[in-house]
Structure 1
Amino acid sequence: MMDHIRQRQTTAAAAMMIVRRMFLVVLFVLLAVALALSDGGEVVVLMEDENGAMHINTSDPVHEPVFVNGVDVAQLFETVQMQASMLHQQRSVNQALRAQNEAFEAALCRRFQPTVNSIPGVGTGNSDWVGGVAASNGLIYGIPYNSASVLIIDPSATTAAAPTTTTATPTTAATPTTTATTVVDTTTINSLKSGGAKWAGGVLAHNNLIYGFPHDAEAVLIIDPSTNTVDTTTLGGIIDGGGKWISGVAASNGLIYGIPWNSPSILLVDPAANVVDTTTLFLSDANFAKWYGGAQAHNGLIFCIPRNAESVLIIDPATNATDTTTIAELPGSAAWQGGVLAENGLIYGIPFTATSVLIVHPTTNATDTTSIAGLPNGNNKWRGGVLTHNGKIIGIPRRATSVLVIDPTANTTDTTTLPVPTGTQKWYDGVLAHNGLLYGIPWLVQDLLLLPRILRSIPDEVVEMMRRRVVFVFEEFFKSLSTEVHTESARINLFIGDNAGKMQVEGLAYHTPNETPHDVMQESVWCNTHAHRRKAAKDNAPM
């Protein structure tokens, strides 16, 4: 009965549409005839074509313009053409500025050579911390694995001494290094149990608290950066031991997802309700060291990078559904460890034993292991990755003798610019500070790794010179257009708001007012200089 009624309604609606169109056609014809008879043969024709588009034509478009809601259509078209010409000229200006920026960059790179720095004596070299988190107060908190203390780093207090060079040996080249000093605190939060592989990795939640994932511990570690206190009881009741989780993602829905390392389930933490769940998101994979690191893509899904697993773990925070079959048939065998969401929307897996970077396309669920390949052979090369402010991805050395630099735009890598000393298990993941410095968290070394700003901090005089040049070019550009564009407004808009006093063009950025322009660390420039390539050693340790 209802279907019959719907069919009659559909038929009636179609009939009404036909009547309306016939009425419009008749109306347009009558109007055209009336205009022709009343205006000496000058005709305005309104017609509908076969695609349903309406056309309005006059017999003399130059002297008889068409107005739509008071807007002259012909003049509007001329304006659009003029704006298109302006955009074309602006592209030419941008290309010229880009070439000048590249020249400035080359000159600055010759002046400021990049160096790898270290802060000695931070840890004991006994697997002290695993990963760290940059808190909203500007400090970095290292998650205690065997250490009884939370590592607290103050990036704003970092300075560097004069560069030195290590002595070359028959098997290794000389390595330029710099010893840095900074405020490193291992006493403020030092009441935790020593040893025990307690926690590993952490995330900053929407409530500005840091949550450390229980590796062997029975509870989630909660760090309050505002008070420098910890809580190891509220989110407890978790099975002891087992190397359960070691990384995770703070999702946009406010929940935290602990990525399974040895655990058969995903750790689900609700910071708002102070609830922890280890049973809802259960997986059948009983492998060890399954996934490490992940990222929430622009489509809202979380993609976890496989280490020993042979598939990418996909988590849908909207439904808490999991998927380990869509992106499968990967090699496993500790191929990658850590993943980073790049600015282009793709996710990049950091090579651990693999000789290529894993690229995951979240929109198509495709993977790519050939575009960025040809990396050195060897096990345990890099562990964990960090996205820098200029869009490059940094791989933290575990056993590799250089920092891995991935350029997602060019699909290239650099393993020579930033060499590091040899060693088997040096740092465990890294953290990008708010001021652009990047820190590698000590694992089986005592030194804290400190990398220069990837954003190229430039001295004041260079900033002012480039800013004047940009203002001049834009003023000349607008003058050449003969339009009513106010160049003063254009000049002011280039340097207001968050960009006041600095300029950012093509990955270049300049120090903020509260930074000392001539500090050694702040004048570090990310240049394409070449150091000696090192051979990565082999290590089959599970972590």
Structure 2
Amino acid sequence: MTDAFLDFVGPGARLAALQAGRAEDAVADAAAEVVNAAAEVAKAQAWASSLGIPDPATPTLKSARGYAIDAQAILDEIEEGSDPLVAAQVQAAAVSAAVALVAAGPNYASTAAGLAATDEGDAFAVFDGINTVTIYRHDAGPVATALRSFPFDLVSRLADQEQQIASIVSPTVAALRLGRESTAGNADVQAKVTSFQQPIVHSPSVSERWRGVVRANGLHFHIPYDATTVLVHNPDTGEAWQTNFGLDLSGTQKWRDAVVARNGLIYCVPYTSQSVLVIDPVAMTATLDVMGLPASALSGTAKWDGGCLANDGRIYCAPFQSTTLLVIDPANNTAQTFTAAQLGMGSTVLNGGTKYSGMVAVGGFVYATPFTAANVLRVNIATMVATQETYSLTLSDNNKWSRAIVVGTLIYCVPFTATDILVIDTVASTGTRTAMGATLTGSNKWRAIVRVGRKLYGIPGDAGDFLQIDLADTTGSTFGTATRQTFNVYDVRTPTTTGTLIEQLKWSGAVVHKNIVYGCPCGLNQAAQDILIFDPAGNAGAGQAYHTDLRAFLPTGVSGATKWFGGVAHPNGYVYSIPATAQDFLIIRDVDAANDNPVAVRHALGVTLDAVNQKFQGGVLAGDMCIYSFPRSEETRVLKIDPYDLTASPYGTAILTDWGGARDRETGLTGQPLGTGAVDEQKWHSTVVGMDGKIYGVPYNIDKVLILDPKAPDADKLELTNFGLNLSGIDKWVGGCLHPNGKIYCAPRSANDMLIIDTNPLSPTYNQAWRETFGLNFNTLSNAGQTTLKWSFPQIGADSRIYMLPRTARNVLVFDPSDTSVHPMGRVTFETFGLNMDPFSTLAGTGYTIASKAGPDGRIYAASTGAPPAGTGNFLIIDTIRHTATYEEFGLTTPLLTTNKVAGIVHTLTGRLICIPRSASFAIILKPKGVPALPPAAVLGPYLNKC
């Protein structure tokens, strides 16, 4: 057994091992080791069985049955309370091992027969003769202990087991078959056109939507000021939505800021509202509560501005125009207001407007930040006695500071109109006004202040920049050094324009999660309609900020007809769309099956992509967990994305490289370039991972197959070869599909034959290729309207056959490698499944589809490239078990008339199919209802995860 073969076999185990290793989970590591070995041994046995070779009995090689038992035992340990993704991967790998175990046989008719034929500690499989295989362990007694049952019809009757061996060996095909059988091929499909997130709704008549944001239960809640909804944002998924919780939240200037109490509830500080908005972030409910106060106590406008949670568990709210201090007691859901006299001060000292803005707690005291007030309001929460402190400073100027933050026993007040920062030493009872070495001119500059590490950040209100205070740098003052920074800020709609912010109201309030700052959208301009996202460690440590309404913008105005072509799913839950004309990647996050609104971002991943057409087409996930795409036309380097290298972005880092050039197998020359990069050079159309773990580029106009070995040293990574064949010609093949027999089958576009490459290291014909006609004339039998545009992008079916989808061919080319009744390489048929496919011949220049994939229900989904011809449909759906097909619309019609709308479909971990936008300004998402997602090994493996 070769090392290369061991690197490929058991894709579920291999992915589980890599994922577990990255998670650094000891239990998962152990599980991965067991299931990896189990899959390797089991698949080797199954492959040998398919050739009639006896089951190997090497003493050092543990049996597949033993590994299946160990895998199940570890699975039982980690299923409870573990990471669900790790558990799912281990389970998938265990299933893969067990399926191959069944294939390796023998399968017993009863537990008695199994016990009689095995020893204590062994495992054996019992087939019930109908549709269930159960794995048992031979325990003392003897007793047969059931480990797990597999309710899918993979173990054929003995009469046809030989024909079905390929299906049994492939866990992916097995999973597709199970998915199809779970619905009998009749799953309803939910379809939608999406830009991946509804933008934050903004009313032109509303000047300041939200004021303040808090984090609770993993979510960010933006507090409605003029808005009539609460904006809820999940920063981990990128999802956002707006809700009024069934309440009437109409009116203006309602609440300013909020506080999360010890009971987990959110209390919104009433500004003009005559009630406290109380939000339960777990139950996702809310109430409008007067907290036991009389109506007179909550009447008036601009009453309190901001608040804080003190160490007595109560919430203290800063008097803005109110003449009282509001104190909320979450423990008994009551509130009190304290007049100046009740706080032990002169009865009129809290008169006047715009006094204090924001409040913080230090020890047994709370402090209100002076806005127009000429003092700091300081309240002893134990005695409820207050004082107004000046700290021997002149504080008579207006609109001075808007919010404050506590650093140890110091309070830093961020300047609104003041030209300096107020620092209060609560131990020494002193205050200092200092610019900390910066020029802090301007009005309404910063409306929030947060801390990340040893730095404080003022969030831009009207300022065109951020305020940064480096607490560790005392060159500007003893309290730190201030600078004004733009942090390379950009608008997601125009990611190449950086460093500019409009000097108008933008954000009011901010929260920090995982060292990322999120700003609350407030004003009328475009930036103010977006959430601010700021990573102080981004941009190689220089800081990176951008603002987004959480919608991925897919403009049709990108030069050229093709923004992205195909995409690849990754274990991290992201889908990476491959740039053709686009200068960035469309990165889609889809990890929650219950969330029907996957989100997306556009990011360059640290690589500079030229504004040229047809850079790359399609890609694959390799065994090193990196994504690769081969150059199509105006590019001569390989694209490599490492999603685990977070140097350039939270989504990974991309590079362009040819590792010094390729070696030409036929000439022996090294350092060979990957084409010239000429316009319309059209070198390789799509890539496929072979059974040997290498990546194979399907030749279109070029006369060589490009092979990339991710494990090889750089000097040996790339190889060009024609396998001794004449591969000259143009427009030859588009797309390839790996079969469980280890061969890659490439779809004929203009070629009159099929290109076949054997990538199975155990095969006697490994590393050989054929141009095979099967004695047929493909051009004639295609009935194509344009014989240079016949079929493309083959997909594997739940029946283990390969389906090549029509461009202008009037049929689907179906290939069965296991049927050697007519030809030793397999059988080709041309199927219409009873549909009228004649209209496809009218689509010269575009063809019917370049987007297809097997879904979790085992059916193949193909989306039309442009407006479908009359008598067909936007979607062609093929049931590969029943061998029928239908045209479907799934309720989508008019939006799908765009020419060249989508290119490639990605099958995600949640069971969705995402059609990647080509010239369309949208993507299409299809979700078969009631169908469980396939195991991650199947989704991420080489059979489905390619374009």
TM-score computed with the length of structure 1 as normaliser = 0.51
1:128-277 equivalences under 5 Å are 128-158=254-284, 182-186=285-289, 188-189=291-292, 191=294, 192-233=297-338, 234-235=342-343, 237=347, 238-251=349-362, 253-277=363-387
What amino acid does structure 2 have at the position aligned with 1:401? Q
Residue 243 of structure 1, CA deviation:
1.1
Q: Distance in 1 between matches of 2:266 and 2:254?
A: 15
Aligned residue for 1:322, secondary structure, equals strand
Deviation at 1:380, TM superposition (A): 0.6
Cα distance change of structure 1 residues 281 and 376 upon mapping to structure 2, 3 Å threshold = same
Relative to 1, partners in 2 of residues 1:369 and 1:95: Cα closer, same or farther, differing over 3 Å? farther
- Compared CA separation, residues 283 and 115, structure 1 to 2 (3 A): same
Contact 2:486 2:500 in 1 (8 A): no
Deviation at 1:201, TM superposition (A): 0.6
Residues 341-396 of structure 1, C-alpha deviations (whole Å, 9 max, x = no match): 11x121110001222211111232211223615242141111111122x1211111
- Higher relative CO (CA 8 A, sep ≥ 6), structure 1 or 2? 1
Structure with the higher strand share, 1 or 2? 2
Pair 320,95 (structure 1): closer, same or farther in 2 beyond 3 Å: farther
Q: Structure 2 vs 1, CA of residues 223 and 307 (structure 1 numbering), >3 Å: closer, same or farther?
A: same
1:341–1:308: structure 2 CA closer, same or farther, 3 Å change rule?
Answer: same
Alignment of 1:305-324 (within 5 A): 305-324=414-433
Contact 1:401 1:419 in 2 (8 A): no
Q: 1:371 to 1:145 in 2, by over 3 A?
A: closer
Contact 1:267 1:281 in 2 (8 A): no
Q: CA RMSD in A?
A: 3.8
Task: Give yes or no for the alignment of 1:387 onto 2:512.
Answer: yes
- With over 3 angstroms needed to count, the CA separation of the structure-2 counterparts of 1:189 and 1:153, relative to structure 1, is farther
SS at match of 1:323: strand
Going from structure 1 to structure 2, the CA distance change for 1:285 and 1:157 (only over 3 Å counts) comes to same
Provide the residue aligned with 2:484 in structure 1. 369
CA positional deviation for 1:283? 3.7
| TM superposition shift of 1:198 | 1.5
User: Residue 296 and residue 279 in structure 1: after superposition, are their counterparts in 2 closer, same or farther (change >3 A)?
Assistant: closer
> Secondary structure of 1:350's match?
strand
Q: State the AA in 2 paired with 1:367.
A: A
Cα gap change, 1:219 to 1:283, in 2 (>3 Å): farther
State the distance in 2 between where 1:248 and 1:419 align: 34
Equivalent residue number for residue 354 of structure 1: 463
- Preserved CA contact (<8 Å) 1:259 1:267: yes
Q: In 2, are the aligned partners of 1:266 and 1:282 still within 8 Å (CA)?
A: no
- Richer in helix (by share): 1
In the aligned structure 2, how far is the partner of 1:375 from the partner of 1:206?
41
How far is 1:122 from its partner? 4.6
Could you tell me which of 401, 404, 407 is aligned with 1:297?
407
Distance 1:282 1:395, change over 3 A: farther
State the percentage of identical aligned residues.
30
1:28-47 alignment runs, 5 A limit:
none
| Paired residue secondary structure (1:278) | strand
Partner amino acid for 1:213? Answer: A
Higher Cα radius of gyration: 2
CA drift of 1:301 comes to 1.9
1:147 to partner: Cα distance: 1.4
Answer yes or no: is the 8 Å Cα contact 1:139–1:155 preserved in 2.
yes
What is the aligned partner in structure 1 of residue 531 from structure 2? 403
TM-superposed CA distance for 1:187, in Å, is 5.2
Equivalent residue runs for 1:42-191 within 5 Å: 97=22, 114-120=238-244, 121-158=247-284, 182-186=285-289, 188-189=291-292, 191=294
Q: Which of 421, 430, 439 pairs up with 1:329?
A: 439
Counterpart of 1:21 in structure 2 is: none
1:275-328 CA distances to partner (integer Å, 9 max, x unpaired)?
111145464132222111121225x32211101000111111111111103526
User: Is 2:539 the counterpart of 1:413?
Assistant: no
Judge which range, 146-155 or 279-288, deviates more.
Answer: 279-288
Q: How many residues in Structure 1 have an aligned counterpart in Structure 2? A: 308
* Matched residue type, 1:293: R
* Contact persistence 1:297–1:345 (CA under 8 A): no
Q: Report the CA distance between 1:99 and its aligned residue.
A: 12
1:241 deviates by: 2.3
Distance in 2 between residues matched to 1:241 and 1:375, nearest whole Å: 38
Which residue pairs with 1:50 in the alignment? none
> 5+ residue gaps in structure 2?
1-17, 26-84, 86-195, 198-235, 475-479, 489-498, 553-588, 595-645, 651-909, 911-916, 922-947
Aligned partner letter, 2:288 = D
Residue 97 of structure 1 aligns to a residue in which SS? helix
Give per-residue Cα distances to partners, 1:445-498, cap 9 Å, x unaligned. Answer: xxxxxxxxxxx996699xxxxxxxxxxxxxxxxxxxxxxxxxxxxxxxxxxxxx
State the alpha-carbon separation in 1 of the partners of residues 20 and 398 from structure 2: 51
1:183 Cα shift? Answer: 2.6
Conserved? CA contact 2:510–2:517, under 8 Å: yes
Indicate how the Cα distance of structure 1 residues 189 and 402 shifts in structure 2: closer, same or farther if over 3 A, else same. Answer: farther
Q: Could you say if the C-alpha distance between residues 123 and 246 of structure 1 is closer, same or farther in structure 2, counting changes exceeding 3 Å?
A: farther
